Chain A
């Protein structure tokens, strides 16, 4: 068995367009006036076929439409892409097909079409349950629209998740407690709860660097927000299965589990990353980021995907640690040692275990609830010992 098979194989499709750019977002997204959806569909299809030729015969467990704002895609575009994927690989019986959607009224009108196209799960970018904060986050929708979109989505799809951003400017713990309690009531089994992160190269990043972004929590208050989030979700029966993702048992995002469990994934679309194993050698792929250039490359005979530089054993191990330890379920030490071709040094683990930050049970290394808010420091230590 090849290593990736422990987690399976999925397809990520990146739609790079948005109606407007949010000030906190550092994803590869662009605002364009005119998009020839037919042409884009053809380009995606061509790339899927090329990728399938590189890794043929796979069982496709998941498809994920991310962005950008994939709910700007016409249902026909989505359907064409799904069909290309299903005909290129063998679809699993329980294939999960997720689409990220903006919770606005226009998008909600397309939900039936997406379901028709084969989408069976949506992830809504609700982000906040009060209009003031939605405006500060640069979102175009209102809370009323978001609630309506959530209702329609829950009626249209088997599984629905939504995102919230917390530890926002000037947010208090009491406000977040009320908001998250409401969210848990609205949820049908999956929530992504992200602490607001100021990234370089964003509007917030720029403002932060100039000292103009006020009201952000200190490290200690940020930790209090995180702790409160865990407490409320645990009480509601939706514990964190990953740092920022909460689900009722069985409702986890299977596509994302492929990333966190170091499976293989094809990344199609501008700036999309993939990991593909051929003859037991794992390759990272990274597509051209600029939409126009990606489109031109996809339409050329050579295509986009470049599989020149394989991951070294150490790089594979680092990725497995940094992705896998985000999961409450942890990683397999046997798998880690096999990637490295030698046993992972035990001393670093012992030190962290004595601090109560990680836990080892038989083959499984996991980060404890105490260690999770310090994951970067834990990883630094574990990677440093490689």
Chain B
């Protein structure tokens, strides 16, 4: 057990690419926590997808021993948090487990929207904050300008921000020293009954469910019987350890300490993040405030390309869900795509990460339908229904009105692109809430419908600003609007997998774009095919795919029979990749491309 004043718990707040993971790596390396030969880039991002995309998805922790200039050795617990908006809930609960934050800002880029959202979470959690200016060695670095921006935009003192280069190692020693001198030690009472916060949990193939905790009061030891206060379940501690970042067994954890335990827990779903853990006997009286569980906000269908892959897909989804309580799924049947799952995600990145993992780790080919949000249907009989899938839209006569989720979006953008951003937000039914400047960067705050953001907002944002804008959002409220279900009919037959909810004013434009795209994607048939977008019975856009005119082999004699027969047999087998709609065959690529979501 460690004395409280020799412990510092902290997290790092940064925008993507501003060097958070590299700084974490340096801290680990400089303190000799991991031998140089075991060091790999982005030590704490353990999933392949995290390393490849350069993002952090799951919170991770590492315990560092640091001999400070005052001659004492401190225990530093770093919780590395995700930077992306989709995983904001993960950030907020991690923040509650620590007392301070390093705010890392790229000295050549300045403060970005994501930084802002996360640093406010740190401030809300009562953190002391040490600003760190990274990439100070770049020619484009403007430390003074960025310091001023931190003070203007975030409102914290940046006069003694630490200049560093995480890449070269410059200034890392100063950061370590500042953690000890400028961040507060944790508080807690060793003699009080055990009170520990469940920070995170995940499934490990060898250990089963692993629970990460922060001890507030009391002491937890291997073999203890503990109770989860929300679920009331009781477990015996099988293993108690700290992460360095590999697990190292420890006899006990006292106040202020962070570690993990295993206790023969079957599923991640049996653990509630934010729950309070105490001893079965002589437990604490009051629980910690706890967290609101994360709600999925973006939904889409996932279908196997090959119908035979349905069972493997089910297995894979169940396994992923074991480790990710924020991901929801239920079986779905589509006339177009067969059997699959309607899945709920925290956001688009979360969706992509899950889909990538299913395809990569489980070797599945998937069709992803258009992402949609959860609409609230206020029925005439007073009932309020959640609509996850436009295909489930009930008859309009039973609906009084429809509400959709709105977000508060913060966009930071260089001055010269501001006009394009305002136009984009207006086009997406946005309402401007705020517009301010910090130097040559503008910060705009918009109220936007989430449905418009999941469509292709990121792509448009990136392209109109050449990648210079940053964007973050929080869900604000549900609000009524004039929303309709737009169906797509191919050869007079509705194609359920292509239907979507749209705002009435945007339906024509969306419908036109959709039918034009489908006309390109569906091959010519032996007859002409009308492709229509409709609201109810009213057609709002139409294209006609003309009939095929010529497809015949010029020469076919005795020697060609075998070759031609093989070709026909191959085509017959290739039919499996086509979806039959009445008399029309739609290639699967058409679904993927027509519904292509931005990445």
Residues of A within 8 A of B (CB): 12, 27-28, 66, 194-197, 219-220, 222-223, 226, 243-244, 256, 258-259, 265, 267, 271-275, 284, 286, 315, 318-319, 322-323, 326, 351-352, 355, 357, 372-381, 383-384, 386
Contacts and interface: CB of A to CB of B under 8 A. Distances in A.
B187 interface: no
Interface stretch (B74-82, B103-111, B545-553, B588-596): B545-553
A195 B554 contact: yes
Interface centre among B548, B555, B558 (most CB of A within 10 A): B558
B561 interface: yes
Question: Considering the complex of A and B, which 8 residue pairs feature the smallest CB-CB distances, nearest first?
Answer: A223-B549, A223-B550, A375-B552, A376-B551, A194-B554, A259-B558, A273-B559, A373-B550
B558 A377 contact: no
B552 A243 contact: yes
A27 B554 CA distance: 14
Contacts of A220: 549-550
A168 to B, nearest CB: 12
Given A197-B555, A244-B554, A374-B549, 12 more contacts: A219-B549, A258-B558, A267-B558, A273-B561, A273-B562, A275-B558, A284-B562, A322-B564, A323-B561, A355-B526, A374-B551, A376-B553
Contacts of A355: 526-527
Interface string B550-577: 1111111111011011001101100100
7 contacts: A196-B554, A273-B559, A373-B551, A374-B548, A375-B553, A376-B552, A383-B572
Contact of A12 (B549, B552, B558, B583): B558
A151 to B, nearest CB: 26
A335 B552 CA distance: 24
A375 B567 CA distance: 14
A195 B572 CA distance: 26
A322 B561 contact: yes
Given A219-B550, A284-B562, A384 B583 contact: no
A386 B573 CA distance: 12
A226 B575 CA distance: 28
Nearest to B563: A273
B581 to A, nearest CB: 14
Given A284-B562, A322-B568, A379-B568, A243 B553 contact: yes
A319 B583 contact: no
A315 B572 CA distance: 13
B562 A244 contact: no
A148 B562 CA distance: 37
A375 B572 contact: no
B563 to A, nearest CB: 9
Contacts of A351: 583
Contacts of A372: 552
B60 to A, nearest CB: 50
Given A380-B571, A383-B568, A374 B550 contact: yes
B561 A326 contact: no
Contacts of B524: 219
Contacts of A267: 558-559
Given A222-B550, A319-B565, A380-B571, A374 B558 contact: no
B212 to A, nearest CB: 56
Contacts of B555: 194, 197, 244
Interface string B506-546: 00000000000000000011110000000000000000000
Contacts of B556: 243, 322-323, 326
A102 to B, nearest CB: 17
A357 B526 contact: yes
B526 A377 contact: yes
A259 B572 CA distance: 23
Interface string B47-61: 000000000000000
Contacts of A323: 556, 561
A311 to B, nearest CB: 9
A12 to B, nearest CB: 6
A184 B371 CA distance: 62
Contacts of B550: 219-220, 222-223, 226, 373-374
A95 B500 CA distance: 68
Interface in B165-190: none
Contacts of B559: 12, 27-28, 267, 271-273
A353 to B, nearest CB: 12
Contacts of A379: 568
A226 B552 CA distance: 10
B549 A373 contact: yes
B229 to A, nearest CB: 62
Contacts of B549: 219-220, 222-223, 373-374
Nearest to A382: B568
A377 B551 contact: yes
Contact of B561 (A259, A271, A386): A259
A256 B560 CA distance: 12
Contacts of A386: 572
A375 B552 CA distance: 5
Contacts of B569: 318, 383
Interface in B463-484: none
Nearest to A376: B551
A380 B567 CA distance: 10
A194 B554 CA distance: 6
A375 B557 CA distance: 15
Contacts of B558: 12, 258-259, 265, 267, 273-275
A318 B568 CA distance: 8
Interface centre among A244, A256, A376, A381 (most CB of B within 10 A): A376
A197 B561 contact: no
A113 B22 CA distance: 88
A351 B527 CA distance: 11
A326 B565 CA distance: 14
Nearest to A256: B557
B562 A197 contact: no
A267 B575 CA distance: 33
Contacts of B526: 352, 355, 357, 374, 377-378, 381
B569 to A, nearest CB: 7
A54 to B, nearest CB: 17
A12 B562 CA distance: 16
A384 B572 contact: yes
A191 B554 CA distance: 13
B565 A322 contact: yes
B162 to A, nearest CB: 57
A256 B559 CA distance: 11
Contacts of A226: 550, 552
Contacts of A357: 526
Contacts of B527: 355
Contacts of A315: 565
Nearest to B571: A380
Contacts of B552: 226, 243, 372-376
A286 B563 CA distance: 11
Nearest to B559: A273
Contacts of B562: 273, 284, 286
Interface in B135-193: none
Contacts of A378: 526
A320 B573 CA distance: 19
A200 to B, nearest CB: 11
